[in-house]
Structure 1
Amino acid sequence: MHAIRLHAFGPAENLSYEEVADPLPGPGQVRIAVAAAGVHLLDTALREGEQGPLPEPIRLPTVPGREVAGVVESLGEGVAGLWLGRRVVAHLGFAPGGYAELAVTDVDRVHEIPANLDFAAAVAMIGTGRTAMGIVQFAEFGPDAVAVIPAAAGGLGTLLVQYAKNAGATVVGLAGGPEKTARVAAGGADLAVDYKQPGWPDKVRAHLGGRAATVVLDGVGGEVARHCTQLLGPGGRHLVFGWSAAGVRGGGPHLVDGVSEQVLGPVMMRKAGGPNPVQTLELRALAEAAAGRLTPAVQRFPLAEAAAAHRALETRKTTGKVVLEP
């Protein structure tokens, strides 16, 4: 098979398209003929040698990627034959191997893809959609809610805008540059604002006509977050789940005492509850997409151009979820 391999930590150019041996499914595993592989901002940090949330150091050479969708084409010992030939999606967890034509994972991680979803949409929902479902658990949306969403043109922001609108909230979506801002407007936001333009908070205040924001869904941090928190009224909430303005490896979120709440992974999982909180959120995400309530935005790259996908993601030249297609 062909796969993307990383032999040395460093820039995107270190990702190489190679022919490698097919992986073999072990007991309780399936092998998936990959039709779409998700790319995450965290992947760019891991590529440069950062440990991130991984429990063990990355061993080189490695095949990056942790989100895949495709068709089950081989079964390991003990796996029911009914899985063979099914369209499935899976988050591989901490295991690598997604940027490839074939990927192996435990059958317990696999979900059948609803008939009306394509592979790229499914892979967007299994990772980014799962995170969106985790975040909205903490938001109190309704007709009186005013939600401000930075990075609203991204894969996660797009879903948050849609969810908030479906719940009846007034939504202000922020993005950088006219092209991304236009996408936010087309995606359903009541107001789409270019945060690169001077005085953008005043534009938001003018649009709201005296209403204050009730919640900020913030994965950006930095100066954008500071201005967003100043738009909040009494009792307003600042939900923090990332700080991309500081880069994956640096800085920290903008926090305001009594206003900001960090709703990162472990907090999301505790809120989701159940015997397997991760799968709870994955199933919610897939169900929302299957029902047509959430439609992920996707930017596709050929598998062989994984380096270009990483560069585009790092330089904020992407819109929606970045997906590699063999």
Structure 2
Amino acid sequence: MHAIRIEEHGGPEVMRWTELPDPVPGPGEALVRLGAAGVNYLDVGARAQGTGGWAAPAVLGAEGMGHVTALGPGVHGLAVGDRVAWFYHPGSYAELLAVPADSLVKVPDGVPDELAGGVLMQGLTANHLGTETYPVGPGDTAVVHAAAGGVGLLLTQLVKARGGNVIGLVSRPEKTDAARAAGADHVLVHSGAGFEEAVRELTGGRGADVVYDGGGADTFTSSQLALRPHGVHAYYGPFMGVPTLRPTDLPNSILLTYPVVHHHVATREALVRRSGEVFDLLLDGRLTLRVTGRYRLAEAARAHADLESRRTTGKLMLLP
């Protein structure tokens, strides 16, 4: 089988289409033939500098779906031929993978392969942000950074499904249509700091209830200044830079949190339940995954270059 492997960290040019031995499923594992793999900023950080503990050499990729072709000893609840998806398994840019069965969820009928392979990483992140991190309720106002990006588009839809209002931030004017199509009530074009006054104007001077901030260090302070007293700053942008902070710098008694999606699905039961919520939203039309780039698995380096250009919107997918 072939996979996208790096021998050292660096730019997209370090990614190599490499022939490797076919994996053999061990105890508690399923052998899966890849159907589709999602491209995420997590993958870029892993490739560029080993962020998240990705030491080179390594096969890149974390998210995808496929078809079970064999089962290792002790696997129950799965069968050869099942369509399965996972939100995190290191080494997902590969034609064949041996995946722990507990990391796999069955894909419901009616969810196409491409959507199943690209929705869980960002869909579970959006689910975490909009339910446990700050449970959006009717009338709440949320500021969503990168509202035309993968997480931003799904999070905007989820906030709207829960009765909230969305002020979307996008980096370029050409991205406003995508954010509005996802349901954003207002869209501001800002590539860095300085948007807090516009947010306060749109909220009648009160400030937002929550800011979902994946924008990185440059937007950190403005996100906090855009909040109402006791509002929530959900910072999930470590791959874009990590700011320094003293607790006394926090304005308006705001609450600062660093949500990690693994804590949202820390058990098998939580993974199945939360994935089911994401799939249900897809099936009933309240959630749409906007796939804007499709690449052959062997062309993963081009997908990374396009993602890093900041000119893409929606989800990029790799197909074998």
Q: TM-score, normalised by structure 2?
A: 0.86
The answer to whether the 8 Å contact 1:92/1:105 transfers is no
The answer to whether the 8 Å contact 2:193/2:219 transfers is no
* Corresponding residue for residue 118 of structure 2: 124
The answer to whether the 8 Å contact 1:274/1:280 transfers is no
Counterpart selection for 1:220 from 215, 218, 221: 215
Identity, % of aligned positions: 36
* Corresponding residue for residue 170 of structure 1: 165
Tell me the number of residue pairs that the alignment of Structure 1 and Structure 2 aligns: 315
* Corresponding residue for residue 148 of structure 1: 143
State which drifts further: 282-291 or 115-124.
282-291
1:315 paired with 2:309, answer: yes
The answer to whether the 8 Å contact 1:147/1:171 transfers is yes
> Cα RMSD over matched residues?
2.8
Counterpart selection for 2:98 from 104, 114, 130: 104
* Corresponding residue for residue 296 of structure 1: 289
* Corresponding residue for residue 27 of structure 1: 27
- What is the CA distance between 1:126 and its match in structure 2? 2.2
The answer to whether the 8 Å contact 1:152/1:161 transfers is yes
Give me the whole-angstrom Cα distance separating, in 2, the residues matched to 1:182 and 1:260.
31
Distance 1:141 1:92, change over 3 A: closer
Q: 1:204-243 maps to which residues of 2 (within 5 A)?
A: 204-210=199-205, 212-243=207-238
Unaligned runs of 5+ residues in structure 1 are none
- What is the CA distance between 1:203 and its match in structure 2? 4.5
Structure 1: which amino acid aligns with 2:188? V
The answer to whether the 8 Å contact 2:193/2:221 transfers is no
* Corresponding residue for residue 182 of structure 1: 177
1:194 paired with 2:189, answer: yes
The answer to whether the 8 Å contact 1:175/1:193 transfers is yes
Distance 1:304 1:124, change over 3 A: same
Structure 2: which amino acid aligns with 1:102? L
1:45 paired with 2:42, answer: no
Structure 2: which amino acid aligns with 1:261? L
Counterpart selection for 2:72 from 76, 81, 92: 76
State which drifts further: 287-296 or 194-203.
194-203
Distance 1:42 1:169, change over 3 A: same
Distance 1:230 1:104, change over 3 A: same
Structure 1: which amino acid aligns with 2:311? K
Distance 1:287 1:25, change over 3 A: same
Give me the whole-angstrom Cα distance separating, in 2, the residues matched to 1:30 and 1:253.
44
Give me the whole-angstrom Cα distance separating, in 1, the residues matched to 2:18 and 2:97.
15
1:87 paired with 2:74, answer: no
Q: TM-score, normalised by structure 1?
A: 0.85
Give me the whole-angstrom Cα distance separating, in 1, the residues matched to 2:193 and 2:216.
18
Distance 1:66 1:256, change over 3 A: same
The answer to whether the 8 Å contact 2:199/2:208 transfers is no
* Corresponding residue for residue 63 of structure 1: 59
* Corresponding residue for residue 153 of structure 2: 158
The answer to whether the 8 Å contact 2:3/2:93 transfers is yes
* Corresponding residue for residue 281 of structure 1: 274
Distance 1:275 1:34, change over 3 A: closer
- What is the CA distance between 1:189 and its match in structure 2? 0.4
The Cα offsets for residues 46-84 of structure 1, whole Å up to 9 and x where unpaired, read as: 22342x333xx6352x32112120111222234359511
The answer to whether the 8 Å contact 2:36/2:118 transfers is no
Structure 2: which amino acid aligns with 1:58? A
Unaligned runs of 5+ residues in structure 2 are none
State which drifts further: 314-323 or 144-153.
314-323
Structure 1: which amino acid aligns with 2:316? V
Distance 1:134 1:143, change over 3 A: closer
State which drifts further: 230-239 or 114-123.
230-239
Distance 1:92 1:295, change over 3 A: same
The answer to whether the 8 Å contact 1:240/1:253 transfers is no
Give me the whole-angstrom Cα distance separating, in 1, the residues matched to 2:31 and 2:10.
29
- What is the CA distance between 1:10 and its match in structure 2? 1.9
Structure 2: which amino acid aligns with 1:154? G
Distance 1:64 1:166, change over 3 A: same
Give me the whole-angstrom Cα distance separating, in 2, the residues matched to 1:53 and 1:313.
19
